[in-house]
Amino acid sequence: MAVPAILSWSFYGKKYSALDMLPMCVWNCCVPRSDLSGLEKFEGLDPETWCPKGYAIVSVDTRGAGNSDGEICVMGQQDAEDGYDVVEAIAKMDWCNGSVGMAGNSALAISQWFIAAQQPPSLKAIAPWEGSSDIYREQFCRGGWFSMSNFDLIAKAIVRGQSHSGLEDIEEMYRRSPVSSPFWEDKRVDMTKIKCPAYIRGSDVSSIHTMGSIRAFLEIPHSDKWIHWGSKQEWYELYSIPHAMEELSTFFDRYLKGKDNDWLKTPKVRWSALQFGDREAIDDIVLEDFPVPDTDYRELFLHNGKLHDKPQETLTSISYDSEKHESFAEFVHTFDSKARLIGLPKATLYMSCNDRDDFTVFVILRKKDRNGKDLMHLNFPFSATPIKSIDEIEAKDRASLNLHLGSSGVLRASHRAIDASRSIHPQFPFHPHKSQEKVPPGTIVKLEIGIWAMGVDFDAGESISVRVGGQYPSIDEYKSFSGPRPDHELNKGKHFIHSGKDYPSSIILPFINY
């Protein structure tokens, strides 16, 4: 009997499994060895789970990867065209019923956007779980600030290919073109071309994929799309939450097997509200849409360390040392009643720097408890970890993989230009990055900074802080991802935030009914 196929597509090579990667992670990413067969392509579905369900799992050595010839493509048109050809070749196999789907995390999710945008006729459904969609704006050059992100780790530890296969040199391409170029635009998918059903998953807790999932849901131009926003690390969610696989099976049964099941009763939008600290998130909150209709976009104004309901008349300036991770300006709002924030925050900052004609600003939203302590969110259920409290985690085991600090935004001042016609939402401005508009030292400029999506609950007495600094606000391990950058890219000296009178620096937060 012919069966549908689910394609796992990435440049990692078909023989690199989760069993190779997860031991490198804190607590093995809380995925027990017994949850994996070793047959799975890393970040792809496990054949041991899916073949008994009546599916063929197809793992491919993409161009240049594993034993395939050619040079490795990192996303973009060439990789997408290759994927189109493979989808159609699979559909013609005598064991295939002609229906092909795609599934997987991260790189395997990113590839789904690009291949689906090519509209291969036999691609009937996709399930991109945590996938960025624009590697310039979402991974390597957020806000115009360059970082190798986790790519050096991927290149050294994960990518497998023949000695002559080669791999795109992202750092060199940035050196040649620090602004938008055909190379970078080739790696931004056009979501409006995706016509097949899509079951999207995403989360606040990904440092790369959050906004790709959001943009996909907003821009895919049909109604056969679902978004399920979670609170867990993506590999744990893929391999160790049985309900996730059951739900995915229902989705594929509907679109690859043609079963008349209950999938269409699935809510279009489900979200998680992080609690932070030692409290588990509230998951599976059914929402009418995203962004939530009738969201109260409440503008709070930065002034003297606090967030105010109205602009302040007094002109003030506060500075921080942009070269030090521990130096930042902070503005706090304490809630007098419970509140739920789900949506897209946005910061508008009036800033200057006397020491450079360009500078990068980092904004992060932190939750504080009633005593003013900064809180973190654990990206796994406590029951899956060896701890009962976040405070028990040793410094060496604290990483962005298992701990989330808060939603953040980044903008380099010379990249502040906005093309509102391409913004996915007024709260998330689109920066074209076509040129660098340097800032004469000491000149005050307006910076509109989209902050990545958030879903957080607050109790009365708890606080939210807007923290602005000159270094990427992360757990220390992030510093090991990228090598040293050239001096002209680095922040130098003090940054000044101006507020009051003609400089109404503010944060807009998305309050919903709760």
Using the predicted structure, report yes or no on whether residue 145 has a pLDDT greater than 70. Answer: yes
Sign, CA dihedral 109-107-212-378, equals positive
Q: Give residue 482's pLDDT.
A: 67
Instruction: Kindly report, residue by residue over 216-242, the tens digit of the pLDDT.
Output: 999 999 999 999 999 999 999 999 999
Better-scored residue on pLDDT, 337 or 160: 337
Q: Give residue 16's pLDDT.
A: 78
Angle at CA of residue 477, ends 472 and 478, nearest 5°: 35
Q: Contact 217/62 with Cβ under 8 angstroms?
A: no
Tokens linked to 203: 């989360």
Tokens linked to 314: 């007094």
Using the predicted structure, report yes or no on whether residue 19 has a pLDDT greater than 90. Answer: no
Specify the CATH number of the domain 3-266.
3.40.50.1820
Using the predicted structure, report yes or no on whether residue 14 has a pLDDT greater than 90. Answer: no
Instruction: Kindly report, residue by residue over 99-136, the tens digit of the pLDDT.
Output: 999 999 999 999 999 999 999 999 999 999 999 999 99
At residue 478 the predicted structure's pLDDT band, cuts being 50, 70 and 90, is low
Instruction: Kindly report, residue by residue over 239-264, the tens digit of the pLDDT.
Output: 999 999 999 999 999 999 999 999 99
Q: Give residue 161's pLDDT.
A: 82
Residues 6+ apart with CB under 8 A from 182: none
Interatomic CA distance for residues 40 and 396, integer angstroms: 29
Q: Give residue 158's pLDDT.
A: 81
First vs last Cα of the chain: how many Å apart? Answer: 51
* Buried/exposed code over 337-376 (b: 16+ C-beta within 10 A; e: otherwise): eebbbbbbbbbbbbbbbeebbbbbbbbbbbbbeeeeebbb
Residue 67: C-alpha distances to residues 257, 282, 415, 419 (Å): 32, 44, 41, 43
- Asked whether this chain's domains 3-266 and 296-512 adopt the same fold, the reply is no
Using the predicted structure, report yes or no on whether residue 477 has a pLDDT greater than 60. Answer: no
- Give the distance, in angstroms, between the CA of residue 364 and the centroid of all CA atoms in the same chain: 15
Least confident range of 6-10, 49-53, 205-209, 436-440: 205-209
Residues 6+ apart with CB under 8 A from 406: 364, 365, 366, 367, 454, 456
If you average pLDDT over residues 293-315, what whole number do you get?
A: 96
Residues making up the chain, counted from first to last: 514
- Give the distance, in angstroms, between the CA of residue 191 and the centroid of all CA atoms in the same chain: 16
Interatomic CA distance for residues 48 and 421, integer angstroms: 47
The per-type count for the chain, helices as H runs and strands as E runs, is 11, 23
Q: Give residue 210's pLDDT.
A: 97
For domain 296-512, the CATH architecture is Sandwich (2.60)
Interatomic CA distance for residues 272 and 233, integer angstroms: 13
- Give the distance, in angstroms, between the CA of residue 416 and the centroid of all CA atoms in the same chain: 21
Q: Let me know if 307 is exposed, middle or buried by CB neighbors in 10 A (0-12, 13-18, 19+).
A: buried
Interatomic CA distance for residues 514 and 511, integer angstroms: 9
Residue 171: C-alpha distances to residues 54, 300, 482, 491 (Å): 43, 38, 10, 19
Tokens linked to 252: 């594929």
Least confident range of 64-73, 293-302, 431-440, 474-483: 474-483
- Give the distance, in angstroms, between the CA of residue 161 and the centroid of all CA atoms in the same chain: 27
Residue 167: DSSP 8-state:
B
Residues 6+ apart with CB under 8 A from 271: 229, 285, 287, 290, 342, 455
Tokens linked to 459: 């109790």
- Give the distance, in angstroms, between the CA of residue 319 and the centroid of all CA atoms in the same chain: 30
Interatomic CA distance for residues 246 and 263, integer angstroms: 11
Question: E strands within 172-321?
Answer: 198-203, 225-230, 269-273, 282-287, 296-303, 306-308, 316-321
Tokens linked to 8: 């796992």
Strands 56-59 and 3-8: parallel
Using the predicted structure, report yes or no on whether residue 352 has a pLDDT greater than 90. Answer: yes
Structural domain boundaries in the chain: 3-266, 296-512
Residue with tokens 């990667």: 21
At residue 484 the predicted structure's pLDDT band, cuts being 50, 70 and 90, is confident
Tokens linked to 377: 């969110």
Using the predicted structure, report yes or no on whether residue 21 has a pLDDT greater than 90. Answer: no
* Three-class secondary structure of residue 154 per DSSP: helix
Q: What is the pTM of this model?
A: 0.95
